[in-house]
């Protein structure tokens, strides 16, 4: 059934409708729910309040980003101070991950912010997700990233970011990690980070970038920015394939774009506040065209 952030509280409070229960049974999730209820038998929570609902576990609010950027930011704060919140956290983790870890995601068309341990601020770019456990490993916070995120770590706190391509280890710094498709890019804005991919390990200091393309060796360059472009309302990419650039555009605007496979690569940027302008910024330098049908379908072609 469609994701409902209140579903866990309503399951435990017994407020699901017959239709919702039928949907859960048909999807196979009902058996998992019963396992959760058995595991938490004897614990009680108050009747679900539709106004407050899931706020017992996660408080969130949408705010508009800086002027000129229409992307919404979700701020998420874990609340673990009550038995009810613990039950809901167990339910959410069991249903969504089944491996006792917690996952936070940014939907297409919006960013998400969260804080870990009061010492690590994370901003997830559109369509990205972060997976982690409540406990640290030997004093180090370990997280798994899919997509792109900006991290700000209070000095003296250890963090390791694992991606499908490699890992980034830090001790108090500000940095950005992008891991989409065949690309793996790490930008260090403050402090120092260690980047490991396969047998290659490099250290980056402030204003340095490490970029990996496919299975090739990483390349170190310098950067002038003080923070990632996407946090200021514009995506910047460096020699990424057109297919991957289109996928990034789809995530930022939560749209589907029809396009033919291409071996061309694109370096440049596009804004997040105007889809028409963004398409022009991508297509014009690449000699491509685009059109939007009466039904709103977008196509990019040569």
Tell me if domain 102-231 and domain 233-301 are identical in fold.
no
Residue (of 107, 104, 108) closest to 96 by Cα position:
104
Give the class (CATH, top level) of 102-231. Answer: mainly beta
Residue 233: the pLDDT is 92
Local confidence band at 133 (pLDDT 50, 70, 90 cut-offs): confident
- Where are the domains positioned within the chain? 1-100, 102-231, 233-301
Residue 7: the pLDDT is 56
CA distance 298 to 276: 10
Q: Give domain 233-301's CATH architecture.
A: 3-Layer(bab) Sandwich (3.55)
Residue (of 178, 9, 16, 207) closest to 89 by Cα position:
9
Local confidence band at 26 (pLDDT 50, 70, 90 cut-offs): low
Using one digit for the tens of pLDDT, what is the confidence trace for 233-254? Answer: 999 888 888 999 999 999 999 9
Classify residue 117 as left (phi > 0), alpha (psi -120 to 50) or beta: left
Beta carbons of 259 and 242 less than 8 angstroms apart: yes
CA distance readout (Å), 266 to 269, 281, 284:
9, 11, 11
Residue 35: the pLDDT is 53
């Amino acid at each position: 059934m469609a994701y409902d952030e209140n579903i866990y509280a309503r399951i435990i409070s017994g407020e699901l409708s017959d239709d919702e229960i039928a949907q859960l049974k048909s999807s196979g999730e009902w058996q998992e729910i019963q396992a959760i209820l058995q595991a938490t038998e004897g614990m009680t929570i108050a009747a679900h309040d539709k106004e407050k609902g899931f706020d017992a576990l996660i408080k969130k609010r949408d705010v508009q980003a800086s002027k000129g950027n229409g992307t919404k930011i979700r701020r998420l704060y874990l609340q673990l101070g009550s038995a009810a919140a613990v039950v809901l956290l167990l339910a959410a983790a069991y249903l969504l991950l089944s491996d006792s870890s917690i996952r936070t995601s940014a939907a297409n068309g919006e960013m998400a912010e969260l804080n870990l341990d009061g010492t690590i601020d994370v901003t997830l770019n559109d369509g990205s997700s972060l997976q982690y456990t409540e406990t640290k490993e030997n004093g180090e916070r370990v997280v798994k990233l899919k997509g792109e995120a900006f991290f700000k770590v209070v000095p003296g706190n250890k963090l390791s970011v694992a991606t499908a391509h490699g890992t980034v280890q830090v001790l108090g710094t500000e940095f950005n990690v992008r891991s989409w498709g065949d690309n793996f890019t790490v930008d260090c804005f403050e402090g120092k980070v260690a980047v490991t991919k396969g047998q290659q390990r490099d250290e980056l200091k402030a204003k340095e970038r490490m970029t990996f393309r496919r299975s090739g060796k990483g390349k170190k360059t310098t950067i002038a920015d003080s923070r990632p472009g996407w946090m200021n309302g514009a995506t910047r990419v460096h020699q990424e394939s057109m297919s991957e650039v289109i996928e990034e555009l789809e995530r930022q605007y939560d749209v589907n774009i029809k396009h033919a496979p291409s071996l061309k690569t694109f370096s440049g940027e596009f804004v997040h506040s105007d889809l028409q302008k963004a398409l022009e910024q991508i297509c014009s330098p690449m000699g491509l065209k685009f059109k939007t049908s009466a039904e709103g379908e977008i196509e990019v072609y040569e």
